[in-house]
Structure 1
Amino acid sequence: MPHIASIGTYLPCWGTPRHRVAGDDEDAITMAVEAGRAALDAGGAVERVVLVSRDLPPVVSSNAAVLLAGLGLDPELEVDERLGGAPATLDAVSSARPRSLIIGVDLDPAGAAAILTADHGRKVRTAARVARSLPVRTRNAVGVVHDYGDPRLLHERGLLASLSAAWLDTPVAVAGVEYDKVTELCAGTPPHMPTYGASAGLFALASLTESDTIGPLVAVEQASLSGITVAGGEAQVNRREPAARPLPDGGVTPGADLPISLAAYERAFEAKVRWEAGRYAGSDQLDFPPRYRVGEDCSLSTDYELVPLPKTGTVYTEATVRIPVPGLRSPYSLVIVELDGVAVRALVKVTGAAPGSVDIGDRGRLALRRIAVRSGVPDYGYAFEPDAASSRESLCDRSAGAA
């Protein structure tokens, strides 16, 4: 019987309270990192990572390296990437062994949630599995989605028929289905879930934990169903769910993307995605980005070690770029951030705030984001996310409210 020690959730700041939208610099991997870090805030060891989504970046190799680096985990850990929706995530939960980090991610609506299992915590156990075929949504070889478009068929022959076949007690929550379709099927008032896909069941677990509710939790996708019984025990819930805001104005300028140098990408990957500086033996100086040095004897020194950098800091200076750049949304803001506790300043883009809304002296954190897509390769790095209370945008909102 798995035990859940902690649950982390993440919602992008853009969109509406009921439908979040991923920013231009967010994808399934960056949101998985946000949710995973929220779950890991409570502490605990990780021996295995399971990532479930239908929206993983289409790279031929694995996304594991970026995911582990963003989470700050050992690159030797096992990562299991699964293509699936809400039932696939609950299947992963019900069969998880201790010290497993399970993450579900969705892009429409956007959100991610994660759980960390342990030897003690909130108990769950398998309640039902039903595999039926009702392919109302399909995707062809080039990614075009076809929707059969019969919500009545999906409700009656999908949701209701699968629930009947499962022989479950009345569930306390149903994930993967819009709220208005499940209220009459649940005991009491089921929680609202911000997503309908792979992360929905984990969002439901977070709500059930916070309300100390026990009973069957069911996840449905088309006609497949997975159910777990949520029992007693305690788990810590950490939510990263900022208030929803409309996407800022701007547009993407058409044109050829900047090409990528895979040699440079590979050389900078660990330092950039793990947010680390280089330090040479016998020196207190940190180089960011890490670089080779030429000694007094003209010999090239390459044997620096990587040192983790703080992920909080203060804006030293800022600029907003309004000149269109092919392949990027304009305008956008850049800041030089003075990192806490070290003599390092970093030039990064601003995320989670409207262009021009961040000022000198604002506090914030560094968050993993997709900086660009070059030659079809997602290029990840860190961006500055201002604290909610420090940006000019938030100050203006408060002033308007007071008026």
Structure 2
Amino acid sequence: MLNSRLRPLALLLLSAFAAIPAGAGPNDALHVYGGVAYGHDDNLLRIPENQPGFDNARGDSWWTREGGLIFDKEYSRQRITLVAKLSKTNFDRFKQLDYDGKDMQANWAWQLGNHLQGKIGTSLQQVLAPYTDFSSTERNLRRSRSSYAEGTWRFHSSWQVRTGFQRDKYTYEALSNRYNNRTEDATELELDYLPRSGSTVGLVARHVKGQYPFPRPVGPFTFNDSFTQDELKARVKWLATGSTTLDALVGYTRRDQPSFGGATSGAAGKINATYQPRGKMTYTASVWRDFAPIESTLVSYTLNKGASIGAQWDATAKIKVNADAIYERRNYSARQEFTGADSLRDSIRTATMRVTWQPRPTIQVQAGVAHQERSGSVTLGTGSFKSNSMTLTANAQF
């Protein structure tokens, strides 16, 4: 007999094969979605190695059940996509972390004539925030709302201009982490040159305004983490050969966050490379340097420098194997009241491997393993940790 933990996966697959009618397929507009996942992490709450576990425990297992509707249809030159998914996750040991997840999306890809096109959309997601920089057994749900609108005018066969606006709002359930609640408004203006080769060269100007409604306590003081950030970057998509593509968005960034003193500026951006020779292998690599928010009770953002490599093996028409390795070094900006600013840094290493089996276009089964470790920062009071995890998921669309 099947292990009781794996039985729901088998039941989902059997019901998926039996329930899909002959007319249902990936090209239909409306789909009913269902999925189930099992996972285990031997250091779920990212407890430093030199500290005891909460209630003498570090690891935990969980089950996630998910269901919803997916709608995707084109009307002439307009495409409407709607997603409504609800999930429930239950943990074996840390039951106070049990939560209901949400994933709601609405997107409209529009086109007017032969020269105007764009996208308008909104989304809502609710998940359990990671515990990488949040040391607690308290449940900390993160709710993110995003709304965006963008439009592109191709005024010449070789030139186009694009403008866009996006608002992202993040709220956290845990009172001890509410200082990371924020709203970020980003406005972009881009001019692109489109040569006949299919490559793209553009210049992007971007302004971001971040507002934090709750001041962050630091000792006897409180600080507001609101900021403005201005970027001027070059965007390049270079089809180097038939098998090599280079995507880059690099340039200059200036971040002004008054509670940290003077403005911080410098080079920032990301470069992605993809190499897909003839055969069953695809290779990817990335390097980046950029500012990023952090879900911490001590600081609000970091300057991250990182690199990643990955590979995908199309073993068969139905089986794919993915492997990725990521290294990121995080440098924290210190307020004047902090001491030991020269040690305000750490690094995170992550390695993952996934095997995906897609027996039918509407059914997918995936198994994955991951290893993560962090070097700590003595000044911030964060220790080094290691974590090993595995997941097994199955989902189907009807």
Common fold by TM > 0.5: no
Identify the TM-score tier after normalising by the shorter chain.
Answer: under 0.3
Kindly indicate whether structure 1 or structure 2 has the higher relative contact order, using CA contacts under 8 Å at least 6 residues apart. 1
The TM-score, its normalising length taken from structure 2, stands at 0.27
Relative to total residues, which structure has the larger strand share, 1 or 2?
A: 2
Relative to total residues, which structure has the larger helix share, 1 or 2?
A: 1
The TM-score, its normalising length taken from structure 1, stands at 0.26
